[in-house]
Structure 1
Amino acid sequence: MRPRSHQRSGSTLRGEIPSVVVLAEDTGEADQIVQALSRLNSGRLLRFSHASELATNIPTTQVDLVVLAANDSPECIRGVLKWTRRQWSECLSLVVGWHSGGPTELAARENGALFFLRPVSSDSWNAVMMGVLRYQGYKLSNA
């Protein structure tokens, strides 16, 4: 599969490295994702505390993965996932929650997102980041 570097996708430009957006009030999950990206020698992470921050500071580059880990309501999660899909049609989504089988997991799965239970292991984040790079067609520099 060839890299999609500098292809147009909607109104955003795909860069040479993957972009990950994390919505998280706590920096713990963002730190784990940064470590996973570091192991692959690739990627940029943009962290926002709330969905409203993302909506008012929309990245101009193509976003490859959105991680929702801010303990938002299921209604907010649904809205962000729908907005994300409109903004970046090829973007993958992942929701992190405390309980399986509840309304948060249902909101994630109904809107095409993966759902992970806390705590998410480093191995799981590594696998997610590797999968995102492969799915989006980036060359893996250290895999």
Structure 2
Amino acid sequence: MPENTQLQVQELAQFAQEQQFNEQYRQYFGDVWNEAGVKDISKMTIPDAQQTLKVLANSEASPQFIKSLLAQAAIDGAPSEVLEYFLSSDIDSDGRTLAQEIFQDGTNPLSADTPQPSPKAQVISPSPTEDLEWQI
């Protein structure tokens, strides 16, 4: 497993340990798993993960809900290769993985993000002397 993905799985596991999901959350998560056809999270396969991502893509789930859903999957023993698949997926095809969006960017992994200039980027404004004629 690539080191970056391993760190993301560890970060998800840490987040999962900090959560205390009540029955209402578990019911919401169960609805997603049921709709995706997942009967036993500990026996999930990559096709199950793909179907779950389709369910999420067709929903209006918040980034926090998705992060919590994956944390609950980790708690319930989802195989590491399935967690890796989830975290490395790019549901909205914006070039950012699900893990980058929920852990680093805080953006919605279900909708493409418009690129934002980095804080170090300089915005170049038109020169006040743009009406000058250039001569060679």
**TM-score under structure 1 length normalisation:** 0.31
Which protein is richer in helix relative to its size?
Answer: 2
Q: Which has the higher contact order (CA 8 A, sep 6+)?
A: 1
Q: Which has the larger radius of gyration?
A: 2
Which protein is richer in strand relative to its size?
Answer: 1
